Amino acid sequence: MSLTRLLLARPVEGTVGERQRVTHLVYVPEARNRALLARACCGQAFGPGDLELLDGVAGMPCEACLRHAPINNAEGVLTDGDLIVSRLTGLEAQVELLAELVDRVGKRLSQATITFPGEQSNVEG
């Protein structure tokens, strides 16, 4: 089984709507197919000049690409897709933790009794 090499790329500005400029996982075209279309894991095909290569995920990742990315191959080497998925899983856990903390703070605030300056002295006096 050969190593699947993937690139991170998104459509060049102006070729598609801004919402469609998601980061795709694109198979590295074989040398003999360089002039042809580049295919993303999600199935979309891109022509020469349609994509800009990225060093990392910029903006929204293409969810379909993440779902269809080849995972651990025979060599046990992580592909870029695996790295992205593991990174996203880590981020998801952090977001869940943050949501829980925000929820706790929200509950504390709703239970807290807010005393304004002056109110206390009125009660005592």
DSSP 36: S
CA 65 to chain centre: 11
Q: Would you count residue 62 as binding Zn ion (CB under 5 A)?
A: yes
Between 57 and 62, name the residue whose CB sits nearer to Zn ion: 62
Q: Would you count residue 40 as binding Zn ion (CB under 5 A)?
A: yes
Going from the C-alpha of 51 to that of each of 30, 70, 104, the distances in angstroms are: 17, 21, 44
Give min distance, CB of 62 to Zn ion, in A: 3
Between 27 and 73, name the residue whose CB sits nearer to Zn ion: 27
From the list 55, 56, 59, the residue with the least C-alpha distance to 16 is: 59
Q: Would you count residue 65 as binding Zn ion (CB under 5 A)?
A: yes
Give min distance, CB of 42 to Zn ion, in A: 3
Q: Would you count residue 9 as binding Zn ion (CB under 5 A)?
A: no
Give min distance, CB of 4 to Zn ion, in A: 15
What does the angle CA 92 – CA 42 – CA 75 come to, to the nearest 5 degrees? 75
Q: Would you count residue 10 as binding Zn ion (CB under 5 A)?
A: no
